[in-house]
Structure 1
């Protein structure tokens, strides 16, 4: 295999996804929501499955520590297993939103497919409770999570690693927008 050509194509996919000019408006909107959440003393709630759960946890920490916007995630094993056992896996995120969410909060849901039923159900519960829904999806543009969101980040790729890494870059971009610079002390 000729790796240089393969890598050129691979990284071109990242450039097309990450730097899509259309994403700038969603970045600004999410920034503005986070500023309001911070000013009102509310919180950002994060959830995802698999690698998206890791991105959600990273987001909760960085928004809290760096951007001073209180963040929590729903990736605690006890919460997932208890709520899944009692309410069904497809409802554990929705029940977490029901029990932890308040009007004025925002919910950040991350799902490459945008079809994870637990995330879609959580978006519905959030909307019913007056909670802003921010989603990060990929694969097909026509997905139910994107449709149920107030602010939708969509990565035009079906390559999981590219979508997940793009989500992470967009998420941390908003953190840095809130801080106001790209380089700063994290201690």
Structure 2
């Protein structure tokens, strides 16, 4: 588990940051493309479900999760703008946007992160490539320097479980939510 040792400070920092935002009433919005989208669906379910805990659910929304909405926005505004459009409709200042990308170079995720920044929504990314454009426009990032997309997705799953545990621990330490 060397991946965790190298990223533990960032995981704990992001976990505490997200917990503070959630305590203040923020919703956590998540997005990724392809396999990364499946990963954020998984994380969204864990934030809402709290893995069998009786703690209150954390408000989490996976963007681009409605095929008709995604299709309409992609058709009318272009795929590279569809995610940004949905984010602008749903996010409010103080919310959190978590983007996951193997490359960190997906135009739609970068545009969504830039839109989130303009709305005073905190942006967090997990990317497989150091110095990616997505990492550069995000408030906080974890770059795992993977050798391939497959490896990035495997590492992101471990990092996301660790991040969820860090959020849970931060919420529990103050006895709320």
Give TM class, smaller chain.
0.7 to 0.9
Separation in structure 2 between the aligned mates of residue 93 and residue 114 of structure 1, nearest angstrom? 15
Q: Which residue of 2 aligns with 1:145?
A: 134
Q: Which residue of 1 aligns with 2:93?
A: 103
Separation in structure 1 between the aligned mates of residue 36 and residue 20 of structure 2, nearest angstrom? 25
The Cα offsets for residues 116-139 of structure 1, whole Å up to 9 and x where unpaired, read as: 000000010000000000001113
Q: Which residue of 1 aligns with 2:159?
A: 170
How many residues align? The count is 164
By how many angstroms is 1:20 displaced? Answer: 4.5
Give the gaps of 5 or more residues in structure 2.
170-177
Whether 1:85 aligns to 2:69 is: no
Q: Which residue of 2 aligns with 1:34?
A: 18
Q: Which residue of 2 aligns with 1:24?
A: 8
SS in 2 for 1:120: helix
SS in 2 for 1:72: strand
Whether 1:51 aligns to 2:35 is: yes
The Cα offsets for residues 96-124 of structure 1, whole Å up to 9 and x where unpaired, read as: 11000000100000111101000000010
Q: Which residue of 1 aligns with 2:48?
A: 64
Q: Which residue of 2 aligns with 1:183?
A: none
CA RMSD of aligned residues (A): 1.7
By how many angstroms is 1:178 displaced? Answer: 3.0
The Cα offsets for residues 28-57 of structure 1, whole Å up to 9 and x where unpaired, read as: 222122212221121000011100000111
Separation in structure 2 between the aligned mates of residue 79 and residue 35 of structure 1, nearest angstrom? 29
Separation in structure 2 between the aligned mates of residue 49 and residue 93 of structure 1, nearest angstrom? 10
The structure that has the greater radius of gyration is 1
Specify which of 110, 113, 116 is matched with residue 106 of structure 2.
Answer: 116
Whether 1:132 aligns to 2:122 is: yes
Separation in structure 1 between the aligned mates of residue 152 and residue 17 of structure 2, nearest angstrom? 23
Separation in structure 1 between the aligned mates of residue 48 and residue 153 of structure 2, nearest angstrom? 21
Give runs of ≥4 in structure 1 deviating > 4 Å: none
By how many angstroms is 1:19 displaced? Answer: 2.9
